Amino acid sequence: MPEMINIDIWGQIEGESDNYRVKPPEVVEMDAPENDDGAIYKRFYKETPCAFHRDLPITSGGRTIIMKEYAYDDWANRESATYMPIDTQPRSVPRQEIIYSGGTQTVAAVVGSAYSQVLSSATLYYGNENAAYVASSYLDGKAVITSSGTIEGTFTSAGTYNVTAYLTAPLAKPVPVQIVITVTA
């Protein structure tokens, strides 16, 4: 079960965000689907999962009011998400979590030859994107890990090299991945 976090109506995390309970400067995406309910969806940050708002016109007794609500989910699920009144703060939601079961990864290389190997990836607790490796250079550039999860480089001497890479995703704690590179002559 993932860790629970408290968020404000804009998706900022209590105790972790400098902007907690401070309105973001602008809407970054808006959507008004053609499903005849008149709802307008807005989000303020591009990450996913995220908090997003729904303005829903409600007609009762000949009067129309706009019900303002918010949800926290994958932006792609905005029409089916579970909404709460905009004045419900803070809201407890599961933290985005990286699920990685690849264990220690091994790479074989030969001295003086370039190598390239795709590393095991991870999935997310929810969200529609995969976790990505932090693009980094290790061991004086002899091992480079791209954000798409490929480790590549060239070694000039034999040996065993240990590298720690990190998988990251929006609002998730980074997950360390141990990589052992064995270089033979």
What integer pLDDT is reported at residue 102 of this predicted model? 87
Q: Which amino acid is at 180?
A: V
Q: Is the pLDDT of residue 41 over 70?
A: yes
Average of pLDDT values for 133-162?
A: 89
**Residue 63 sits in the same domain as residue 87:** yes
Q: What is the pLDDT of residues 60-75, one digit of tens each?
A: 889 999 999 999 988 8
Domain that includes residue 24, residue range: 4-94
The total number of structural domains that make up the chain: 2
What CATH number corresponds to the domain at position 168?
2.60.40.10
Of 36, 59, 94, which residue sits at a domain end?
Answer: 94
As a whole number, mean pLDDT of residues 84-95 equals: 85
How far apart (Å, rounded) are the C-alpha atoms in residues 126 and 130?
10
125 lies in the same domain as 63: no
Which amino acid is present at 51? A
Q: Any idea which of 39-48, 110-119, 121-130 has the lowest mean pLDDT?
A: 121-130
Looking at the fold, whether 107 and 170 belong to one and the same domain comes out as: yes
The model's pTM is: 0.65
Q: Do residues 114 and 151 both lie within one domain?
A: yes
77 and 19 in a common domain:
yes
Domain co-membership, 86 together with 15:
yes
The pLDDT of residue 108 is above 70 = yes
- State which of 59, 94, 129 marks the end of a domain: 94
**What does pLDDT average to over the chain?**
88
Residues 78 and 105 in one domain: no
* pLDDT value, residue 158: 95
Q: Which of 72, 79, 40 lies closest to 56, judged by CA?
A: 40
CA-based R_g, the chain, Å: 22
From the centroid of its chain, how far is CA 166? 13
Do both 73 and 143 map to the same domain?
no
Give the pLDDT confidence score for residue 127 in this predicted structure.
Answer: 65
* Cβ atoms of residues 105 and 145 within 8 Å: no
Do 114 and 156 fall into the same domain? yes
Is pLDDT at 79 greater than 70 in this prediction? yes
Residue after which a domain boundary falls, among 94, 129, 153: 94
**pLDDT for 19 beyond 90:** no
Contact 52, 75 (CB under 8 A): yes
Asked if residues 13 and 6 have their Cβ atoms less than 8 Å apart, the reply is yes
One domain for residues 102 and 90: no
Asked whether residue 76 falls in the same domain as residue 111, the answer is no
Residue 43: pLDDT above 90? yes
Mean pLDDT for 62-90 is 90
Q: Is the pLDDT of residue 30 over 90?
A: yes
